[in-house]
């Protein structure tokens, strides 16, 4: 069995090496090779048991099998199609008529149904994110010569530095995903970190990761709504949010809850998704198209400006100490643009992030769904993420959007 798997992996490596030379043929070949292996493996197990040791998605076969159908899944296989249909219904008209989801009525619908929107989104995309990106669901400024994961961790460690995180502190991660940043920041600073996410699947996954890495005593995820924090007043010594509060339907309410659970004088820092003043033009239909594409593909009520984030922090009882676009030098010759990772590199580790790599993944998902190996609706999820990746790149190239607007604020 071990020898058979080694041969299969070598075959997959050769297919990956050829994709840049023969795009259409290679995409079909990659889908065929992996699908054949998947069908063989499906005969032995209906649901993949995930080790949660950070290597699950390194295995092409197991990774593709486990998306939307593994032992930790909350969403059942026969619920995926209804879930993606319901989610897309909150963005009615998106990608069909520019401006359709920018109306007050459309935004208000997503704000009122934000719990359904965010929970559905992460039930659907969490596995795809881990498959293509890793356990830290965020972008980061990157300097020339710096690796992708180095830049991700540096952005996280910057928060540790600005918050003065150290052993003995109890810190809140607002919208923690599967806890990738939490674990990195805990290992770096020694602080104890509580993470809150509305999505139970992410809690299941994240706490298993914590246990496997020996961090269960210091890191913990709980299911909850960051608009209505379940913690007592003045519980935490610091708090941070990494590209998470962009999902909030009411930032004043969200930040007020963070302020409530922080001790007096303690700080809150984070990175926020915003459109950039002076660059984003709401009268430019192509700008609006890009903005709406980012919103529908990322579970956002609507994108706002940096000044809206600052005003919400102040209204919530914070003194804003510093704020700026961490990607302000995005097109410097000394920087690798934050969105360049979505272009990826033709290596085995970076291939899945490339546009063509995503196309191969999409072809694979389509094939698996057609064969009834992947749940019905999986292809819709893949298509949604492929489309928004293009919008993110367009927004970055034109500098009308940043995912890394940094802020640090002190509770008054």
Residue with the two structure tokens 């509770």: 411
Confidence of residue 1 (pLDDT cuts 50, 70, 90): very low
Q: What is the pLDDT of residue 367?
A: 82
Q: Are 154 and 146 in contact (CB under 8 A)?
A: yes
Q: Are 327 and 404 in contact (CB under 8 A)?
A: yes
Q: Are 129 and 321 in contact (CB under 8 A)?
A: no
Strand bridging mode 262-275 / 401-411: antiparallel
The more confident residue out of 306 and 368 is: 306
| Residue at 22 is within a domain | no
pLDDT at position 127 over 90: yes
What tens digit of pLDDT does each residue of 250-264 get?
Answer: 999 999 999 999 999
| Residue at 10 is within a domain | no
Residue 187 CA to residue 135 CA, distance in Å, equals 15
| Residue at 367 is within a domain | yes
Altogether, the residues listed in the chain come to a count of 412
Q: Are 336 and 329 in contact (CB under 8 A)?
A: no
Q: What is the pLDDT of residue 9?
A: 47
| Residue at 2 is within a domain | no
| Residue at 43 is within a domain | no
Residue 327 CA to residue 331 CA, distance in Å, equals 9
Average pLDDT rounded to a whole number, residues 272-295? 98
Q: How many structural domains does the chain have?
A: 1
What tens digit of pLDDT does each residue of 154-169 get?
Answer: 999 999 999 999 999 9
Q: Tell me, what DSSP letter sits at residue 338? A: G
Note the pTM of the prediction, 2 decimals.
0.89
pLDDT at position 399 over 50: yes
Residue with the two structure tokens 């989610």: 87
Average pLDDT rounded to a whole number, residues 2-23? 48
Q: Which is nearest to 177 in space by CA: 117, 245, 112?
A: 245
Q: What is the pLDDT of residue 19?
A: 43
Q: What is the pLDDT of residue 43?
A: 42
What tens digit of pLDDT does each residue of 263-275 get?
Answer: 999 999 999 999 9
Residue 301 CA to residue 315 CA, distance in Å, equals 20
Q: Is 176 exposed, middle or buried (0-12, 13-18, 19+ CB in 10 A)?
A: buried
Q: What is the pLDDT of residue 59?
A: 73
Strand bridging mode 318-325 / 401-411: antiparallel
| Residue at 39 is within a domain | no
Domain that holds residue 335: 70-412
Q: Is 154 exposed, middle or buried (0-12, 13-18, 19+ CB in 10 A)?
A: middle
What tens digit of pLDDT does each residue of 173-219 get?
Answer: 999 999 999 999 999 999 999 999 999 999 999 999 999 999 999 99
What tens digit of pLDDT does each residue of 130-143 get?
Answer: 988 999 999 999 99
Q: Identify the weakest region by mean pLDDT among 55-59, 127-131, 161-165, 240-244.
A: 55-59
Q: What is the pLDDT of residue 45?
A: 46
Confidence of residue 345 (pLDDT cuts 50, 70, 90): low
Q: What is the pLDDT of residue 6?
A: 54
CATH of the domain at 312: 3.40.50.150
| Residue at 380 is within a domain | yes
The more confident residue out of 69 and 117 is: 117
What tens digit of pLDDT does each residue of 97-110 get?
Answer: 999 999 999 999 99
Confidence of residue 69 (pLDDT cuts 50, 70, 90): confident
How does the average pLDDT of the chain come out, rounded?
89
Instruction: Enumerate residues 6+ apart whose C-beta is below 8 A from 246.
Output: 272, 273, 274, 298, 300, 303
Q: Are 257 and 229 in contact (CB under 8 A)?
A: yes
Average pLDDT rounded to a whole number, residues 110-128? 97
User: Quick check: helix, strand or coil at residue 323?
Assistant: strand
Q: Are 259 and 393 in contact (CB under 8 A)?
A: no
Q: What is the pLDDT of residue 364?
A: 82
Q: What is the pLDDT of residue 12?
A: 44
Confidence of residue 27 (pLDDT cuts 50, 70, 90): low
User: Quick check: helix, strand or coil at residue 247?
Assistant: helix
| Residue at 389 is within a domain | yes
Cα 358–361–363 angle (5° rounding)?
Answer: 110
Confidence of residue 28 (pLDDT cuts 50, 70, 90): low
Token representation of residue 180: 């990738």
């Amino acid at each position: 069995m071990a020898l058979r798997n080694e041969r299969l992996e070598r075959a997959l490596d050769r297919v990956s090496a050829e994709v840049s030379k023969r795009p259409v043929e290679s995409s079909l070949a990659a889908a065929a090779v992996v699908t054949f292996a998947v069908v063989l493996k499906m005969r032995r197990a209906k649901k993949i048991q995930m080790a949660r040791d950070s290597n699950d998605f390194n295995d092409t076969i197991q990774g593709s099998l486990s998306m939307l159908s593994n032992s930790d899944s909350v969403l059942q296989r026969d619920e995926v199609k209804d879930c993606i249909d319901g989610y897309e219904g909150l963005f009615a008209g998106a990608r069909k008529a520019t401006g359709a989801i920018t109306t007050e009525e459309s935004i208000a619908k997503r704000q009122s149904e934000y719990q359904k929107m965010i929970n559905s989104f992460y039930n659907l995309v969490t596995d795809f994110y881990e498959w293509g990106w890793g356990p830290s669901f965020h972008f980061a400024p990157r300097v020339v010569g710096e690796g992708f994961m180095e830049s991700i961790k540096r952005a996280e460690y910057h928060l540790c530095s600005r918050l003065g995180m150290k052993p003995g502190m109890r810190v809140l991660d607002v919208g923690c995903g599967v806890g990738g940043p939490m674990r990195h920041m805990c290992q770096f600073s020694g602080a104890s970190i509580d993470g809150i996410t509305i999505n139970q699947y992410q809690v299941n996954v994240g706490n298993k990761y914590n246990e496997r890495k020996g961090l269960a005593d210091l890191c913990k995820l709980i299911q909850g709504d960051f608009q209505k924090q379940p913690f007592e007043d003045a519980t935490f010594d610091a708090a941070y949010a990494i590209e998470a509060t962009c999902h909030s339907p009411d930032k004043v309410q969200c930040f007020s809850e963070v302020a409530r659970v922080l001790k007096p004088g303690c700080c809150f820092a984070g990175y926020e998704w915003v459109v950039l003043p002076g660059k984003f033009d709401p009268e430019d239909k192509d700008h609006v198209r890009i903005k709406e594409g980012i919103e529908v593909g990322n579970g956002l009520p609507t994108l706002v400006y940096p000044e809206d984030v600052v005003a919400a922090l102040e209204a919530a009882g914070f003194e804003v100490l510093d704020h700026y676009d961490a990607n302000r030098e995005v097109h410097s010759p000394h920087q690798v643009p934050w969105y360049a990772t979505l272009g990826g590199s033709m290596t085995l580790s970076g291939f899945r992030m490339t546009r063509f790599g995503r196309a191969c993944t999409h072809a694979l998902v389509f094939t698996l769904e057609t064969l009834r190996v992947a749940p019905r609706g999986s292809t819709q999820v893949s298509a949604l993420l492929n489309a928004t990746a293009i919008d993110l790149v367009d927004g970055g190239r034109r500098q009308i959007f940043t995912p890394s607007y940094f802020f640090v604020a002190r509770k008054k």
